[in-house]
């Protein structure tokens, strides 16, 4: 009998959410486990198996491991690193609606993600998890004609079922002053099977201009399956952008960023932003000198096409837009 559970849900259930099985899978030595792994992290482990399979065995010096595996460095208390560095709670218009910038608003569709990034700036955010649906958010959007773009974020909106997403898209389609729907997701990188025919049908049926934004930090996160899933979206005429976060031990290397840029542009994906990493509590070990980002951007400018160079930005609470960092 065929299972009624979508394939991507079945794959998601294979995510590593307990530390001992993951460390066994990574063949990490007892010495490294005792010295470097955080056994009971406050922010839980959540790592797709296909990403775990890309991690080098028995080492901590792996760019994918450092993004997702809890390390004792998370316990370091550093000045300026706070639980909610972007102060998202202060921009709430309802439990699930944020409005930071003119003309745009963001729906926090869910607290769930395909994976838990150790540098996540919303890892301490007080999500609304009891109320089902988006009635209040839709009502506010309908009444505010200044909003022309809605961003679906979270968590990760692709954590929602296709039925819920279909209903949400139909409701947004009915708001005449909304012109664009921007979709932020890391699912294609971790579970590309999530881009299934049902989801593609939802995108194809929308009357709005859709922009699809992925999050990829290192070239090893990309592979033929990831690219093939994204090309299905691009085939619908939907532009695909990538945003990366600059992280020590992950991508603070000019050749790494150049390789990532080349893979993205060769796949029809535009490198959109390179973010200075947000100073969230527990992530100070990802911090870099302020000169690193501009130096890397200058290197990219000298070695690839202009459309392959992301804009280096920082988000600062209360500012009317992202802050472009001079390079």
DSSP string, 253-274: SHHHHHHHHHHHHHTT-EEEEE
Classify 179 as helix, strand or coil: coil
- The DSSP call for residue 83 is S
Higher pLDDT residue, 1 or 30?
30
Q: What is the structure's pLDDT at 1? A: 47
> Strand 97-98 and strand 92-94: pairing?
antiparallel
Binning pLDDT at 50, 70 and 90, where does residue 327 land?
confident
The pTM score is 0.96
- By residue count, the chain amounts to 327
Q: What is the structure's pLDDT at 160? A: 98
Q: CB atoms < 10 A from the CB of 85, how many?
A: 20
Q: What is the structure's pLDDT at 326? A: 82
| CA dist., res. 40 & res. 38, Å (int) | 6
Task: Name the average pLDDT for the chain.
Answer: 97
Helices (H), the chain: 7-12, 19-25, 30-36, 49-52, 63-68, 135-143, 162-173, 187-190, 197-205, 224-234, 254-266, 292-303
| CA dist., res. 37 & res. 74, Å (int) | 10
Residue pair 213/241 in contact by the 8 Å Cβ criterion: yes
| pLDDT tens-digit readout, 218-249 | 999 999 999 999 999 999 999 999 999 999 99
Average pLDDT over residues 206-211: 98
Q: What is the structure's pLDDT at 2? A: 56
| pLDDT tens-digit readout, 77-115 | 999 999 999 999 999 999 999 999 999 999 999 999 999
Residue pair 191/11 in contact by the 8 Å Cβ criterion: yes
Res 17 pLDDT > 50: yes
Six token digits for residue 187: 């699912």
* Percentage, residues of the chain above pLDDT 70: 99
Q: Exposure string (b/e) for 158-183, b if CB count within 10 Å is 16 or more? A: bbbebebbbebbebbeebeebeebbb
Q: What is the structure's pLDDT at 218? A: 98
| CA dist., res. 102 & res. 125, Å (int) | 23
Phi, psi of 190 (to 5 degrees): -100, -35
What the chain holds in terms of domains, given with CATH numbers, is 7-75 (no CATH), 88-324 (3.20.20.70)
Residue pair 118/162 in contact by the 8 Å Cβ criterion: no
Q: What is the structure's pLDDT at 297? A: 98
Q: What is the structure's pLDDT at 284? A: 98
């Amino acid at each position: 009998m065929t299972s009624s559970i979508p394939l991507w849900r079945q794959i998601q259930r294979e995510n590593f959410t307990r530390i001992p099985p993951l460390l066994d899978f990574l063949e990490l030595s007892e010495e490294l486990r005792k010295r470097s792994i955080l056994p009971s992290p406050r922010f839980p482990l959540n790592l797709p198996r296909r990403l775990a399979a890309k991690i080098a065995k028995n080492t901590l010096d792996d760019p994918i491991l450092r993004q997702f595996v809890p390390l004792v460095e998370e316990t370091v208390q550093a000045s300026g690193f706070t639980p909610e560095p972007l102060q998202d709670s202060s921009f709430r218009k309802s439990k699930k609606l944020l409005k930071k910038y003119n003309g745009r608003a963001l729906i926090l569709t869910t607290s769930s993600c395909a994976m838990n990034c150790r540098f996540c700036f919303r890892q301490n955010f007080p999500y609304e998890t009891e109320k089902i649906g988006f009635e209040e958010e839709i009502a506010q959007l309908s009444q505010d004609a200044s909003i022309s773009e809605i961003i679906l974020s979270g968590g990760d909106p692709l954590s929602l079922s296709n039925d819920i997403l279909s209903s949400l898209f139909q409701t947004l389609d009915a708001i005449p002053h909304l012109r664009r729907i921007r979709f932020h997701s890391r699912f294609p990188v971790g579970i590309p099977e999530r881009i299934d025919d049902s989801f593609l049908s939802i995108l194809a049926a929308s009357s709005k201009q859709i922009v699809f934004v992925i999050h990829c930090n290192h070239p090893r996160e990309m592979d033929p399956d990831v690219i093939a899933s994204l090309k299905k979206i691009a085939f619908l005429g939907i532009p695909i952008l990538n945003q990366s976060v600059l992280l020590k031990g992950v991508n603070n290397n000019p050749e790494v960023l150049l390789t990532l840029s080349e893979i993205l542009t060769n796949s029809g994906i535009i490198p959109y932003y390179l973010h200075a990493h947000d100073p969230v509590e527990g992530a100070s070990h990802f911090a870099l000198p302020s000169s690193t980002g501009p130096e890397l951007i200058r290197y990219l400018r000298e070695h690839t096409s202009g459309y392959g160079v992301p804009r280096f930005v920082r988000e600062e609470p209360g500012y009317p837009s992202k802050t472009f960092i001079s390079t």
